[in-house]
Amino acid sequence: MRLGKFTCVAIALLAIVHPSQGLAGVTEIVLSQYQFDGSPGDPPLSTSTFASPQWDFLAGEHYRGDFFLYAEPYPSGGFFATVDFAAPDGVPLQVGTYTGATRWPFNAPGTPGFDFTIGSAGSNTLEGQFTVLEAVYDANGVMQHFGATFEAISPVTGRAWETGTVYYNFDLPVSSVPEPAAASLGVLSLAALLCSFCIRYKKSHSDSSN
């Protein structure tokens, strides 16, 4: 097999124009529970992940501009999990961090709200914050893509006793995906190695032919 200079260029271009991408269209709920009066750095007591195809999802708005994601096992139904987020005063959720959140829908005017329930069990006195990573609406104001992280804060210790990640058709990169600059550097390094291999192969092939 002969690798000419045009083949080398084609391989290098393929490496550059097809870099690693972030997660696309992911829908799942991940909840981690910690000891309510625990210490910083303590591992979670439990972590629950709700993801398709084992779980069916329903997303929408109850009222006041909130966004909820509901999950139940497929196909049996029964046990469920749901998470709800709302910006202050019912305005549409936007990318950013919402601090001082309390239990939705009982959050006071001017404050954000959030809530989470697992198998009908939840907290009546939630306090904490959440960060919206993605919020894309269609022309009718219906959420099409959403991503958020949240933490429920203990009023006693000031530390998180529950954290969560919520994705609904989530399209943005996550921490496991390299940053653009790092990804580009890695791709360029790969391209350089490929070209170097092509040059050495061509030289070796020419020497063996003489």
pLDDT in tens, 149-177: 999 988 777 788 889 999 999 986 655 44
For residue 58, name the pLDDT band (cuts at 50, 70, 90). Answer: very high
Sign of CA dihedral 66, 133, 50, 114: negative
Instruction: Identify which of 77, 74, 19 has the alpha carbon closest to the alpha carbon of residue 51.
Output: 74
Whether the per-residue pLDDT at 88 is higher than 50: the answer is: yes
State the burial class of residue 88 (Cβ atoms within 10 Å of its Cβ: 0-12, 13-18, 19+).
middle
Sign of CA dihedral 100, 103, 105, 109: negative
pLDDT of residue 19: 33
Whether the per-residue pLDDT at 103 is higher than 70: the answer is: yes
- What percent of the chain stands above pLDDT 90? 39
Residue range 119-127: average pLDDT?
76
Residue range 53-60: average pLDDT?
91
Residue range 84-107: average pLDDT?
94
pLDDT of residue 56: 92
More confident residue, 39 or 115: 115
User: ω before 53 within 30° of 0 (cis)?
Assistant: yes
pLDDT of residue 37: 65
For residue 207, name the pLDDT band (cuts at 50, 70, 90). Answer: low
Residue range 88-96: average pLDDT?
94
pLDDT of residue 134: 95
Q: From the CA atom positions of the chain, what is the Rg in Å?
A: 24
| Cα(207)–Cα(210) distance, integer angstroms | 5
Q: Tens of pLDDT along 176-201?
A: 444 444 444 443 343 444 345 444 44
